[in-house]
Amino acid sequence: MILAAEMPNESWPCVDFSDVVGNMLKGQPDGLLFVAGGIDVARLARQSRRQAPKLPISASEWAGTEQLSELGGKVVDGLVIVQNYKRDDDSPRFRAFREAYFKRYQKDPGYSSVSAYDAATVLRYGPYQGLQQIVFDAKAIRGARFF
């Protein structure tokens, strides 16, 4: 894959995402990659489906929130996101976390909630086993440098 164009943009309600996508399509890419949050990716996906309905679209992990599905609806069907979050994780640690999270917030946790939990908890200085990805043991903590 070759990067054909980079289209920086601001995230404001008044941004014309049709222009952003139109400019991305000028290079006749084989696909579009959106590096943005879920709200903006939903808006970008809507415009890409209008202007180039058959062109594959993908987004960075950052976009993979519940808002993306809620706001994007069918427009984001087929959108490719590589994410290190397993929504159907049935491990005892994650199940306990999901149940406590639901009891408090009345909804299931998303990837950002899991990542935030792991990031905040790691400050306890291990050994620490994250919910899904992060593992710190005493050896890793001794060698770590925190800035």
* pLDDT, tens digit, 9 for 90 and up, residues 106-122: 999 988 888 888 877 76
- Among residues 34, 49, 81, which one ends one of the domains? 81
Which CATH number does the domain housing residue 38 bear? 3.40.50.2300
Stretches where the chain sits below pLDDT 70 are 1-14, 122-123, 125-128, 133-147
70 and 32, same structural domain?
Answer: yes
Say if 10 falls within a structural domain.
Answer: no
76 and 39, same structural domain?
Answer: yes
Q: Please give the tally of structural domains in the chain.
A: 2
The per-residue pLDDT for 144 is 45
For residue 41, give the amino acid letter.
V
